[in-house]
Structure formats: structure tokens, C-alpha cells
Structure 1
Amino acid sequence: MFVVHGSKVTSSPLRMFASVVVAMLGLCHCSNHNGTFLRTPELSGPSEALGNTVAVFECKLLPHPENETVLMTLFNRGSTDTWLGDSTSLAGEAAIFNLVVKPSHAGDLVCQARAQNNSNIKPTFSNTHYLKVFEPVSSASVSIMSFTTIFEGEDLYLSCTADGNNVSFTWLQNDQPISSPHVMSRDHSFWIDRITQADSGTYVCEASNSFNGTDFTTRSQEVNVTVKGPRRVFEGEKLVLFCPIDGINMSFTWLLNYQPISSPHVLFSDRLLWINRTTQADSGTYVCEASNGTDFTTRSQEFNITVKGPRRVFEGEKLVLFCPIDGINMSFTWLLNYQPISSPHVLFSDRLLWINRTTQADSGTYVCEASISLKGIDYVSRSWNVNVIVKAVVSDPDISFAVLTEDSHYFSVGVTCQSAVGTPPVAFSLYNGTESVANVTSADRRAVFRVPVVFGEHLGTFRCQANNGAKTASSGWLPIKIEKVKGPVSLTYDYDIAENFAVVGVRLYCKVAAGSHLRYQWFLNKSLLQDHGSFYYVFNQLPEQSILILSVGRSSAGTYHCVVSNSFDNTTTISSRGRYLDKEVLNRLPVLVVAVVFGCFIFLILLVVICCGFGVIYSKIYWRREYGDKFLLEMERRVVAYEGELDVSEYSDGADVLRTVGDGFDQASDASSDEWPQIARQKKTIEDEPIEVPLGFK
């Protein structure tokens, strides 16, 4: 039964039906949600892999949701997730990822499971799987942090680098593992704090690592180290000498120049002699004596030490300074001229100062400061001063020569070698071809060599070499031949013309047939002209010629000539012929020019007259050849016709006579209608003339 209250309809069966519908929908929803929920996938695979090999990773999702396609994705989880691969699972099979391992794949790997066709299902992630990528060691090389030729007591620093990970380093001396207690190594670094002559030899670094029982090893290049006994040190540097005598319960004594050392700045420690700051007074021969306290005493070899002034290096060379201050947890600062070094090309490494390519700006006094802080108090220790002078490398020398006069009969060639750059002293050598001529050391980058002269012969091709300790610089080749002046001397000129065709400037050229080191002199009316004057200028193009440039005017009038001689010998002079020049002469036309011009004019007139005469003669010949015969024939016809008109008594019929005569001239006129107009006019005149009829004719 239904009850209606306004707009509401209520019924017990209807309420029951609605409840059933709601319950069924809830069950359906719960059933759908529980059926497509994704579990956590499981990622498995190797935890360590060799680079450039294939590693297989497997991702499983159990249980697999029914009627769902699951997309499996492999990620490298770093600062950002890096995609490594995808695989689709249709019916619960495991996703397989074949990964070509690279160094960038190292780190945490995760697998993501996602319903491929249902965006309502949230993706899930596997546990993190860490992958370590192993790189085999390769390309080992040794860096030298000190000199390879060093002296006893100095320090040797070597460093080894190699490509790969988990690399261990082993150092070998002469292909044997190093076991000396005073040799230290850490990680890839190797150093000998106080080297001895026993440390000379060949050093090699071996770098190695291993993977799954396989060992990988690479070997560096060889480094040859030479340890010298006697050596040179510079003022202010330390000197450390090591006594090579071995023994038990031995006491050691050091001698300088075979006298016991009593200087307070010389320290002794076991077998070592240590001078912290050397002076030139420390130069000499050092000997170590070892004694066991009884009757046994022995001496070492001699150490010849020379303490020199400032340390000198050349531009472009490296400079390595070592701070002698020892200590733990100390920081080091280097000063140049007592100011902290801020140059970007100066490197610092622990106790080392390293300048790979020095310049002259690196000259000065170097000091090392070592500092340490203990209980809030800073302690600073300063090393000795090291004076460094960076020398300029000598430049390629210029070579030139001049003839030198010893007396009137003896001459020589002075060959000059000069370098523009280079710190003295500079050693110069002169070569003639491959043969050495002479050597000299100069304090001002300049040297002069004398070579005997043989006139007229080629002395050779010379070259200079210069060296101030860094490298040998060479000049170009210079051929040398000395020849005395030989004639003749030619004098020529040309000139400049103004707008009015007047000569305003003259250039005189003086040349000689042969000679070297020439000197030209110009004369005006036997007066010597200097290099320049109010109206002239001398320009020498040695050795080819000399040019005298003149401004034409009243002052420049006169006779000019030049004299040529050798610059090194005034005994032989050759003069040119004189040439007179003034304004009128230069602007006057020469007789020869006038004769040539008028001769050419007369020749042209004669040529025209001759051509006209030939033209007249040719025209007459042509007239007679073309029209002469025709004209005579026509005239003959006209005479005959005229005679016929006069003799009319031969005809009986006067009218016929007239007709005949007229017809005859008409025919002749018709036949000669193409002839000259004069003939036609003649015809016309004859026809128009009145004819007198004789008596007896009608």
C-alpha cells in the first residue's frame, strides 16, 4: 500500500529495494578495487658489473593483476631519475632488462610497475638495488714534481695517475719493488725526502685493480732519476749531505776542507749534515768520517760543494722551490719580495712552489712562511731568502760587416754579431760555412770578428751563433766579397716639366761599372756638394747608384760631375765626364730636334705632291682606257653625218634626204644613249641647226 504525503512517496518495499541496490554497488566497488591493486615489484640483478659488458636485470610483479597489462620501467635514481629501459608484462611473466653497462649507470636502480591501460591504478616501485660499475685500469702516467737530475740530500717527488676505479699503485725502482725506509708513498704520490746516490735509477708506476678474480694492470713510462754527489747550491738555500757509511754504534764527524766544522749554523743529526741557510763561505770539499769508538775510522767520498750567488733560470723554464720547514698540520704561504704571491701562473702544492714557465717578472726574493695554530695561538716560521734571477734568453743575432783599414796596404773585414735581447754574458761564435772562425764572450750582447781581405775574391758565407746558457741562437747567412772600384762612371739625367713646358727639376744619376763599399761625391764647377743644399739634395742608393736632385734656377747653373771611390780607400777615384746645365740650355730645343721636325714636315709635303701627281696620271690613263675609243667612234660618225647633209645633190628626193639624215642620227642617238652626256648634247646641237636647201629643191 502506497501513502502519498505531498510530494513524498513512502513505501516499505521501496526502502528495502534501495538498500539492496546500495549494498550490491558497494560489493561491486570493493571487488573491483581489490582485484586491480598493484603489489611491490621485486628487482634483482648483479650488484657489480664490468664496464662495456651486458648485465641482465629482472623485475617481477606477484601476483599479477587479472586482465591488466603491466609496464615495467628501469630507472637510475640519482639527483633525477634516469630512464634505462621498458618491458611489458601481459600475464605475470618477469620483465627482463639487458643493460650495456656504462660508468653513468652506477648507483641506485629501481623498477616501476604501472598499469598500462588504467590510469586509476597508482604505480608502485621496487626496492633499491645498488649497482657498482667496475672500470679496468688503463693509461697510467707519471708526473714529475721535481728535477730528475738532483743532488744528494734533495727531495724527489713523483705522482702517478691512471684511468679506472679502485686503483692501487706500486712503485718500482729498476724493475724491483722499493723497500728503502726513507722512501714514502701515499695513494698515487711518491717522494724521497732525502735522496742519496743509491736512489739513482729508473722509476716506474704500476696501477692495478681486479674484478671477479681477474686482475688488470697497466704500467707507466719510465722516469730516469740521476742523483749527483758534488753539487752547486745558491746562497740562502739549504745543504743536506748524507754519509753513505753503514755500521753499528758508529759516530760521524764532518770535515770541510779536511778541517772539523765548527760553524754554529751547521747542524748534525746521525749521518746527516744540515746547513739551513748556506753562504759562499760554505763552499769547499766535505768529507764524512765514521768511527766505532775504538780503532776503526773510515772516510766517505768527497762532496765538492760550490755555493753560488742568486739562483738563475731562463725565461720559459720551470722554477720549483721547496719549503724546508717541517711540521704537522702546517699551512704554507709563499712571498715574492715579501709580498704574497697572487700570480695565476704560480702553483702551490703543500711545501712546493711551482712556476711552469717563468718570466722576468718572477725575478726577486722568495720566502716561505709556515704557520700552525695551537690553542688559539698562531705560530709562524719563515724560511731563508732564496734570490732568483730570471734571465732573458738570447735572441737571434744580427750579422753585418764593414771594411777596416789598418794602414794603406792592409785591410780587414770586421764582422759584427749583435743580439737585441738576452742577459749577458753572451758567447758568440763566427762560422764560415761549417768551419768555425773564432769565439768570444761579450758582456754587452755584441762581438766583432776580424777576417783578412783578399780583393776581388769571395771571402765566404758567414753566420753568427749566440748562447748565454739556455739555447743557441743563429743569424742568417751573409756572403762577403770586397772589390775595388772600376770604371767607367756614367752620368745621365732626366727632368720634370711644368704646365708651361718649362724644365723645373733635374735628376742626375751616377753609376760605376764595378766595386763594393762605394762612396759617391758630387761636384758643381769643381766645388764639392754636401748631402743637401738650398737647390739640391743627394740621395744614395748604395751600392747601385747615387742621385743628385736639382731645382732648376740661377743658382743651379754650372758644370756637374761625380767621383766614385771605395769608402775604405781614397787612393783610387774615378770621375765621370762633366755636364753643363742651366735654365736656358735645358729649355732650348736642340738643333738635331729642330732638323728632325722640319725634315719630317718637308717629307710629308713631298709625299703629298707625289701622291697627287700619280693621281692625275692615273686618271688620264684610266679615261683613255675606258672612254677614248668610244669617243673617237662617235666623233667619226658625227663627221660623216655632217658631210652627208652638205652633199645633198646626190639624192633626188629632198624630203627623203632629210628623213634619211634625221633617221640616221636618231638611230645613232638610240644606239649611244648610254654614252657620255657630251655626245648627247652634240647630237642635240646638230639636230637643231637650220639646214640650208640648195636652189632647185623644194
Structure 2
Amino acid sequence: MQNFDFYLVICLTVVMFSFQCEGYPKASLTLKSDRNTVYIGDTITLQCCSELSFTDWTYHFYKGDEGSSSSLIKVTSEHSYTIKSVNQSDSGVYICDAYRHIPPRVLLPSSPFNLIVQGNPKVTLMLKSGRNTVYIGDTVTLECSIDGVFTYWTYHFYRGGEGSWKSPIKEASGHSYTIKSVDQSDSGVYCCYASRVRSSQVSYQSNPVNLTVQERTVKLEIKSRYASGPIFEGGHVSLHCCVDGDPVGWTFELHKRGDRSSYKAEMNSTFTISPVTLSDRGEYWCRAGKGDLYSRTSGPVQLDVSVDCSTENGIKLGISGLVLIILLILVSEYFWVRIYASRSN
């Protein structure tokens, strides 16, 4: 009978406590962060809050599920719990509650908050260029992008295979590395990684980017009014210096074989000769340059200039007519002299 009375008292106590707890507010545990993903080395803050405006709370933070598996990790008058430089061992379920000495005395345990700490962030290296092919003299930019939203990172760019990260070619707070006026010596494999300022945290190594710098090839083309056929004296002809990659800010040179005085340099790749004369006949070649940097020379192109047949025939006809007129004048003078001489006798 005594055992029955004891169990009855225990049951009544539990029921009464349950009814009392139903009137207490519940704590809310949230992560104070500007992003959802947490990485190794981050500093995070868990906040235990309630809708009540009461003060003088004592907050309890637990790690683990409710019950015997949870462990008290902090008791504080502040409603927040901060972990500096989190590690993956900090991953897990967190709960909080709070107590006061005066009513309302209790904040019931919050819903479990599952904290997941990701491994080191990944970085991606890419070549920022308007085209896939890179030529000598181009300006190229390599961009090292880190996954997520990160601040206070230093980016390390290096060249070569595994192990080359020990001697980076550039360290910067910016995530880009620019090479102005690349040369073929800049060809090679590039990688990058990021390290946290004032921390031992580093990202994974990026993907390799193979930079291949090609030499510009040059071709000289002759363009005239007629797509095909001879170029006549007095006409119009253009010589176009075609250079790979459409270089910006380059100077184009036109040369005539064996004639230094024919050298021309223009910002435009097209050279115009108008009107064309027979003295413009010859072999031409071109090249492009920027500062001390020059492209290869083009292959030689022969410019042939012909005399217009219609003009030549007109000249011949005019000369023939002039000769005929002179002959007529001479013949008529001869006859007049004979007539005058016969009348005198």
C-alpha cells in the first residue's frame, strides 16, 4: 500500500509539472551569420532568444539531443554563445534554455539546431579573356574565385605543377592576377589557393589552367575594284595587313622590297594607293608592332600594274592621226611649191 501511495505522488507531481510547463515560453536558438554555410575557421555565434522582453535570464547552451546524450557547454547571462575558428568537430545538434529567479522563471528548451561545419572551401581558377586563343602582346587576367561569401582572404597565384605553391608568383588581397603584354615565355600551367588572414585556414588547391600564348601570323592581301583581273594604271588599290587576334593599339607597317622610301606605318591595317602608277609595281610585305614587340612578317605579295588597253589604243590612234595630218601638210606644201614654180617659168 505504501508503494502505491509513493507512485501516486510521483505521477501527480509529473502531471502538475507538465501543466505548469505548458504556460512557459519556449526558447529559440538561431545562428547569427550572413550566410547559411559554415566553413572550418569561421567564427560563429548561436543566439538564444525569446519573444519575452524580460531580463535577468541565465542561459544554458547544450550540445547533443535532449536527454542524457546532451552536455552543458556554457552557462552565461548573455544570450549568445560564440565559437571562434570552428572545426568539423563542432558540428552537431545544439539546444538552449533559460531560467530566472522571478516569474516567469523558465524558457523551455529550444528546438534542436543542427550545425554543419564544411571542410576547407574550394577555389576555381579561370582565364578572363574575350577569346579562347591568347596571342603575344595580349593582356590576360587570371581570376581565383572562392566558393561562398568570404572576406579577409589572401589569394596566392603560382605557376607549375604540384609543390609550386611554396613559391607563388603573386600574393594579393584581390582575387585576380593580370599579365600585361604576354609573351610565349608566359605559357604554362597556373594554379591558385586562398589563405585566411591571421589564421591557419587555407582553401583547397584550384583547378589548373593551361595558358598557351601563340605567335601572331600575318597575311598581306591586295584588294582592288575588281575582285580578279589586272590592276590598271590610274586605278585604286588597297593592301590589307591581316593579323591574328585583331590587336588593339598596334601599328601596321607596309614595306616594298628594295625600296626603303616606300615604308609606311599606320594605326589602320589597310593601306590605299590611289591613283596607281607603273612605279608602284613590286613586291610588298607587312608586319604589326606595339612598342618593342613585333609580329612575324607576312609573306611577299606581288603587285602588278598594267596599262589600260583603251587608253593605250587612244594614244596610238592620236599619234597616228597627228602623223597623218603632218604628212598631209607636207604633201600639200610640196604641191603648192610645184604649182608656184611652174607658173613662174
TM superposition score normalised by structure 1:
0.22
Which structure's residues are more often strand, by fraction? 1
TM superposition score normalised by structure 2:
0.37
**For the pair shown, which has the larger CA radius of gyration, 1 or 2?**
1
Relative contact order, higher structure (CA 8 A, sep 6+): 2
